[in-house]
A and B are shown apart, each in its own frame.
Chain A
Amino acid sequence: MFWQIDLLISTLVIICGIGALTVKDLLGAGILFGAYSFMMCLLWAVMGAVDVAFTEASVGAGVSTVFFIAAVFRTSRETKD
């Protein structure tokens, strides 16, 4: 049961990671980064690290995404690469 979940969530993690680096809109990159953090949190929860998953959910998918979006709001939103 578990290696299927691991494989599925790992595929989503890699797709979100590559997506966050490839989109041309920095706001979209910030949101995809939040999704990447949340998928990592799920992966760690499946591997049994519940404390670390809790911390990553609150820090990565919460506060870290807000910091990124605040920084993008104060600088420019589009980028060439």
Chain B
Amino acid sequence: MKSIALTVVLILGCLLVYVAQEFPGFGDPGAPANVHVSPFYIENAMRDTAVPNMVTAILADYRGFDTLFETSVIFTAGLACFFLLRVIRRRAPESRLYRHIPTDLTIRIEKGGRLPASSAEFQRIDSVWVPYDLIIHMTGRLIVPFIQLFALYVIAHGHYSPGGGFQGGVILGAAVILFALCNNLRMTVRRFSERTNALLCSLGVIIYAGTGVMCMLLGSNFLDYGALAGLLGVDRIMARSHGIMMVEIGVAIAVNAVMVWIYYNLSSVGRQDEGL
């Protein structure tokens, strides 16, 4: 198998090197990729949409259809992970581990046993347990709000600096994953449940498609944000800028929920009781 793979890869490599003679040089302004459509985008993005970041303007306005289907692709991936892995556990586990909070002892309760009377002092821990670490716990508590604030900044400033909806959504998802790493997966699922995740990622796709449908209901084409001018009370150029903002918020909500959902399903193999 390895020799077949090696020959195939070497033939492909020689073919690619032979074809690379026809390619333009690195950094050539007269290359065919830089000549046909992109000068129109570069010169007109600021004038048509009042958004200095050209990449955001092209992504959400000129090529808005691609971004709509990209959002639905990431939603479908979250759904696929859910349907592949999720098992709803009916049986209780054989033995459960608890940590006594005041004295930092760990006790194990076998099947059929019950928790002692003062059970407010006991905290359930994972069966692959590590000793409780105060530094990780407190550092997580301090850092997670600032990460979420930074993610909101990245979403809101997607018009003026590198960033936008997708990057901010991933950073929001990463903040929740950091919380799940510093504490239990069970605590994270209690705060940000699976039902909330599913609803949020559908909400994100609905916001995006709903903006397009609203433009259609106001008389223009699908995803033509200039039609929102009468509804928002601004002129056509600023209406396109606000339309871009609305779809970026939709993308961020969807991506955030999907990243957290895939993490829940992957790190606990669908059972969602013990995680990484």
> Which residues in A have some Cβ–Cβ distance to B below 8 Å?
50-51, 53-55, 58-59, 62-63, 66-67, 69-71, 73-74
Which of A63, A70, A73 is within 8 Å of B174, CB to CB? A63
Q: Which residue of B lies closest to A48 (CB)?
A: B27
Residues of B near A58 (CB, < 8 A) are 167, 170-171, 174
Contact A54 B167 (CB under 8 A): yes
Question: Roughly how many angstroms separate A54 CA and B275 CA in the complex, as a whole number?
Answer: 28
Question: Roughly how many angstroms separate A11 CA and B144 CA in the complex, as a whole number?
Answer: 35
Chain B interface residue bracket vs A: 20 to 34
Residues of A near B56 (CB, < 8 A) are 51
Contact A55 B167 (CB under 8 A): yes
Contact B164 A51 (CB under 8 A): yes
Distance to closest chain A CB from B251 (angstroms):
12
Q: Which residue of A lies closest to B276 (CB)?
A: A70
Contact B276 A69 (CB under 8 A): yes
Q: Which residue of B lies closest to A81 (CB)?
A: B2
Distance to closest chain B CB from A31 (angstroms):
14
Residues of B near A54 (CB, < 8 A) are 162-163, 167
Distance to closest chain B CB from A70 (angstroms):
4
Residues of A near B275 (CB, < 8 A) are 70
Residues of A near B225 (CB, < 8 A) are none
Residues of A near B162 (CB, < 8 A) are 50-51, 53-54
Question: Roughly how many angstroms separate A59 CA and B170 CA in the complex, as a whole number?
Answer: 7
Contact B259 A63 (CB under 8 A): yes
Contact A66 B263 (CB under 8 A): yes
Contact A66 B177 (CB under 8 A): yes
The reply to whether the CB of B269 lies closer than 8 angstroms to some CB of chain A is yes
Question: Roughly how many angstroms separate A58 CA and B155 CA in the complex, as a whole number?
Answer: 13
The reply to whether the CB of B173 lies closer than 8 angstroms to some CB of chain A is yes
Sorted nearest first, the 4 A-B pairs with minimum C-beta distance are A70-B267, A50-B162, A58-B170, A51-B55
The reply to whether the CB of B266 lies closer than 8 angstroms to some CB of chain A is yes
Residues of B near A74 (CB, < 8 A) are 266-269
17 chain-A/chain-B pairs, Cβ below 8 angstroms: A51-B162, A53-B162, A54-B163, A55-B170, A58-B167, A58-B174, A63-B263, A66-B177, A66-B276, A67-B263, A67-B266, A70-B267, A71-B266, A73-B276, A74-B266, A74-B267, A74-B268
Residues of B near A59 (CB, < 8 A) are 170
Question: Roughly how many angstroms separate A51 CA and B51 CA in the complex, as a whole number?
Answer: 15
Residues of B near A62 (CB, < 8 A) are 170-171, 174
Question: Roughly how many angstroms separate A54 CA and B163 CA in the complex, as a whole number?
Answer: 7
Question: Roughly how many angstroms separate A63 CA and B276 CA in the complex, as a whole number?
Answer: 14
